[in-house]
Structure 1
Amino acid sequence: MPQTLAAPAHSDLLIKKSRFIGCVQPVPDRAAAQQVVAALRAAHPGAAHVCWALLAGGQSAAVDDGEPGGTAGRPMLDVLRHQDLDGVLATVVRYYGGVKLGAGGLVRAYTDAVAQALLGAARRAIVRRCRLACTVPYALEGMLRRALEQAGADILAVSHGEAVGFAFALPQDAAAALVARLDEAGHGRIVWRAADAAPQA
């Protein structure tokens, strides 16, 4: 099961006089990741490179930021993928110490900076959620509310008209069983409406 991070975690390595400051942290998407990277550039104006890698909801990135191609961003991304993470940004700020590391040395340094940060990172499981919507007669409103509460669903919206409309979200793996249970309990009087599937952490 994919996991994300509960909070940022850091590493700080000194390799042949170069300093590698690593960070792994939860982010929802690429736009948020780019804001973090921009803030790092501002906070470290003397750094030679600010390299980063992202895995977030199908969006991925591997940025070498001036290091030789494939020696920074891609190895960092590989570490995230190997750990089965999602919704995570890895960044490494490098201060150049005057000694060239070579391509192999750079790959190891960036890999180690991310791996070391992950060693101290608290993780949490990603629970995929889906959204459902239905309409029920007023006589079934109480029953539906109880069933949603028992299933751990979050009610997103309720509307009262000729019937009662519900929009709710619940863990994806519980959705099919809930729908079947409600269809049976409602004797065909629950009308399901289209609702977007929405993965949420």
Structure 2
Amino acid sequence: MTDYPATIAAAVDHELVIKKSRFLAHVAPVCSPEEADQVIAAIRKRYWDARHNCSAQVTGLRGDRARSSDDGEPAGTAGMPMLEVLRRRELTDVVAVVTRYFGGVKLGAGGLVRAYSSAVSEALDLATLRDRMLLSQATVAVPHAEAGRFDNALREWVDAHGAVLGETAYGADAAFEVWAPAAALPVLEADVAALSAGAWHPLVTGASRVVDAPRA
């Protein structure tokens, strides 16, 4: 479990057609409101001839910044429903833009809400999610002759324990950087000791950071 909203790994495009109106959804990961605004501007430029380019964005580590725009659709029928989808999915650092090409048939307020929210929801169904976790740093230093064996073992370990393998520094020893949940550090200690017959132990640095990791 994580105390932080998740995000998406890469941009996704999806098209939805309802009563001849085309809804082109674009969802993308962003790092700030400014970057989200740049994505929206790029979509507006790409689909300059569309009647509406509605948008919603959530940013911040805890998803505490949010904006939405109906871009000419009746108030509350586009941007806010799109934003609600992002909120329900518990996502942050993501922007959604839905471009509408009007097909000549009016959908009504309820139809617009369903269309815009569905376009975003279906696009997110295609996205790869990344969970955000607060992880603690540990360093495992081993002789160079053991580096290959420990590299393989630690890659398996992080996959099994919701951890992430960071940079490896090669100096007098090969120093592997492991970012793991605090509760898993005693397990790392025991497993490294078992792998090395008690010769080596992880150095827990006390540093911590929020890390994006692929959802299992």
Does the Cα contact within 8 Å between 2:9 and 2:130 map onto a contact in 1?
no
Does the Cα contact within 8 Å between 1:63 and 1:72 map onto a contact in 2?
yes
* Equivalent position amino acid for 2:18 in 1: L
Does the Cα contact within 8 Å between 1:72 and 1:107 map onto a contact in 2?
no
**1:92 positional shift:** 2.1
1:148 lines up with 2:154 in the alignment: yes
User: Bigger CA drift: 71-80 or 184-193?
Assistant: 184-193
Distance in 2 separating the partners of 1:63 and 1:199: 28
**1:190 positional shift:** 3.2
User: Scaled by the length of structure 1, what TM-score is found?
Assistant: 0.66
**1:97 positional shift:** 7.6
Give the SS at the match of 1:182.
helix
Residues 189 and 29 of structure 1: CA distance in aligned 2, closer, same or farther (over 3 Å) = closer
Give the SS at the match of 1:198.
strand
CA RMSD of aligned residues (A): 4.0
* Equivalent position amino acid for 2:209 in 1: D
1:21 lines up with 2:23 in the alignment: yes
Q: CA offsets, 1:87-126, max 9 Å, x none?
A: 543222245689987xxx3464143233145347424443
Stretches of structure 2 lacking an aligned partner (at least 5 in a row): none
Distance in 1 separating the partners of 2:120 and 2:144: 55
Does the Cα contact within 8 Å between 1:24 and 1:88 map onto a contact in 2?
no
Counterpart residue number, 1:122: 126
Residues 198 and 83 of structure 1: CA distance in aligned 2, closer, same or farther (over 3 Å) = closer
Does the Cα contact within 8 Å between 1:136 and 1:165 map onto a contact in 2?
yes
1:196 lines up with 2:206 in the alignment: no
Give the SS at the match of 2:210.
coil
Counterpart residue number, 1:37: 40
Counterpart residue number, 1:62: 68
Alignment of 1:180-191 (within 5 A): 180-184=186-190, 185=193, 189-191=201-203
User: Scaled by the length of structure 2, what TM-score is found?
Assistant: 0.63
**1:79 positional shift:** 2.4
Percent identical pairs in the alignment equals 28
Counterpart residue number, 1:176: 183
Counterpart residue number, 1:167: 177
Counterpart residue number, 1:49: 52
Residues 91 and 107 of structure 1: CA distance in aligned 2, closer, same or farther (over 3 Å) = farther
Does the Cα contact within 8 Å between 1:75 and 1:107 map onto a contact in 2?
no
* Equivalent position amino acid for 2:139 in 1: C
Does the Cα contact within 8 Å between 2:82 and 2:120 map onto a contact in 1?
no
Q: CA offsets, 1:125-168, max 9 Å, x none?
A: 4344546242546499657545412213434232425x654323
* Equivalent position amino acid for 1:50 in 2: N
Does the Cα contact within 8 Å between 1:53 and 1:73 map onto a contact in 2?
yes
Does the Cα contact within 8 Å between 1:183 and 1:190 map onto a contact in 2?
yes
1:109 lines up with 2:112 in the alignment: yes
